[in-house]
Amino acid sequence: MEGYSFELITGPMSCGKTEELLRRVRRCIIAKKKVKVISPDVDTRTKGDYIESRNGLWLDAIKVKHSIQILSFVKPDDEVIAIDELQFFDGNITKVISKLMNEGKKVIGTGLELDFKAEPFGHMPELMCIATKVDKLHAVCMKCGCEHATRTQRLIDGKPADKNSPLIMIGGDETYEARCIKCYELPDNHPEKSKQGLKILPFVK
């Protein structure tokens, strides 16, 4: 039975997450499944109520501010719930998806697993744990051209962003690009800020 499942599509910017989400949703539509598409309103790259991949594919979507609002839009006869950009949702998103699965829904979601500092992004670690299937996509490194880019490089005025810059800055190709581990850069121009709250745990034999 297709319900009671959560398929999570993750990876860096420009790896085709939304494109893959749309492909799976369109297959569900062809199979005459009742589908609902959700997107966080913090993602302002699209100017209307829809989600769009970088290759121009798009689908109408409901924009929500808080994850708990998703439940108010999902109807009993909805069979597939697609949620884009999961990393932007608040802490209730894990409970919301768990509830949808328990109600027999098939949930398909996308999200950046790592932020621009190569650290776990938002509640993605929890979502990866409850997912029944996880697909980690790779992108093409925009610096060396290898096909194993797993990092999202933030660029400000064409240069790698400092590690102390704000976590969330909505952008596209002009502010972010995919990089492999070798080409990924994270300069620390203000080391005194980075030291605040840093604790080194003692080694225990």
For 147-155, what is the mean pLDDT?
96
CA atoms within 13 A on the CB side of 191: 0
Burial 129-157 (b: 16+ CB within 10 A, else e): eebeeeeebbbbbbbeeeeebbbbbbbee
Give me the residue label for tokens 């299937």: 133
Percent of the chain having pLDDT more than 90?
Answer: 71
Structure tokens at 138: 């790779």
pLDDT at 1 over 90: no
For residue 100, what pLDDT band results from cuts at 50, 70 and 90? very high
Catalytic residue numbers? 85
pLDDT tens string 27-70: 999 999 999 999 998 755 545 565 555 555 546 889 999 999 99
pLDDT value of residue 205: 59
Write 26-30 long-range contacts (CB < 8 A, 24+). Answer: 26/59, 28/79, 28/80, 28/106
Cβ neighbors of 89 (< 8 A, separation 6 or more) are 40, 67, 83, 122, 123
pLDDT at 201 over 70: no
Q: In the predicted model, what is the mean pLDDT of the chain?
A: 87
pLDDT tens string 85-96: 999 999 999 999
For residue 144, what pLDDT band results from cuts at 50, 70 and 90? very high
pLDDT value of residue 43: 58
For residue 204, what pLDDT band results from cuts at 50, 70 and 90? low
Structure tokens at 118: 């190569």
pLDDT tens string 10-25: 999 999 999 999 999 9
For residue 157, what pLDDT band results from cuts at 50, 70 and 90? confident
pLDDT at 200 over 90: no
